[in-house]
Chains A and B, each alone.
Chain A
Amino acid sequence: MTGLIFLALGIASMAAVAGLRGTAIGLFGASFIAAVLWLDHHMTSSIELSF
């Protein structure tokens, strides 16, 4: 999944360099949402700050 996020971001950056601003920002948005959902999926451990 993280590989797909990187791949989408790589394509977004290439689209930006090629001048396709809308495509690039759209791919950024999709990658960002996927990254947030993937972080939520991995936030399984509880944080122990009480001693």
Chain B
Amino acid sequence: MGPLIRLGNAAGAAGVAMILMVAFGLQFGLKEPPCPLCNLQRAAFVLCGFGFVLNLRFGIQPLHYGLVLLGALFGVATSGYQTLLHVAPGAAAYGAPFLGLHLYTWSLILFLAVIAAVAVLMILSGPPEHDRSDHQAALRFRGAYRLAAYLLIAATLANAANSFLLCGPVECPDNPTSYWISKHLPS
């Protein structure tokens, strides 16, 4: 069961990286800069992915799953709040829909899916791998597992740069229409 669980965690980390890349694609494809709450939802996805990376690097442990759940709950709070803001009839939505739902609604669904997936992984995981040495865990951290972690790191750092270029060092406008950096570049 061990390799299957590790594969599940690698899929979790790579899945989070893919979600962030799709968000980038929609941001640049539809020319819709993310709102502050949208950026926080992306951060929540990274918080989830971080726990998966810890499981891949240090072995499967309940603490790491707990961090994934904390990230997912933060994501539910953020995307749930934004969904409720726009759920009333006549309330204006933010951004264009994607496959029939707005991105914050997709986020809410995906965070709930992460919680469900962690529940399944924890049920299947069995006893924690406390008894294994760090050396053993480090030896197993290679190939697809390492690639999944690197993908997540790349997507996270790309989001850091994107947030800074969009919002600057402090705060984003509620409804951003242009990049902060474009106002500070010489014309």
Give the B-binding residues of A (Cβ under 8 A).
1-7, 9-10, 12-14, 16-17, 19, 21, 24-25, 28, 31-32, 35-36, 38-39, 42-43, 45, 47-49, 51
CA distance A28 to B170 in the complex (A): 20
Contact B70 A32 (CB under 8 A): yes
Contact B85 A2 (CB under 8 A): no
- Within B157-187, which residues are at the interface with A (CB < 8 Å)? 157, 159-164, 167, 169-172
CA distance A14 to B70 in the complex (A): 20
CA distance A38 to B157 in the complex (A): 19
Contact B39 A2 (CB under 8 A): yes
Given A9-B46, A28-B47, A47-B81, answer yes or no on A3-B167 (Cβ-Cβ < 8 Å): yes
* B residues near A13, Cβ cutoff 8 Å: 46, 49-50, 53, 149, 152-153, 156
Given A6-B157, A39-B40, A48-B91, answer yes or no on A21-B58 (Cβ-Cβ < 8 Å): yes
Interface of chain B: mostly helix, strand, loop or mixed: helix
Contact B36 A2 (CB under 8 A): yes
Q: CB-defined interface of B78-103 with A at 8 Å, one 1/0 digit per residue? A: 10010011011101000000000000
Interface size class of B (residues with CB under 8 A): 35 or more
Contact B43 A5 (CB under 8 A): yes
A-B contact pairs, 7 of them (CB 8 A): A2-B39, A5-B43, A7-B157, A25-B63, A28-B47, A32-B47, A49-B88
Lowest 7 CB-CB distances: which A-B pairs, in order?
A3-B163, A6-B160, A3-B164, A10-B156, A7-B160, A2-B39, A10-B157
Contact A16 B53 (CB under 8 A): yes
Contact B160 A35 (CB under 8 A): no
Given A1-B171, A2-B40, A32-B70, answer yes or no on A43-B81 (Cβ-Cβ < 8 Å): yes
Q: CB-defined interface of B15-37 with A at 8 Å, one 1/0 digit per residue? A: 00000000000000000000011
* B residues near A21, Cβ cutoff 8 Å: 54, 57-58
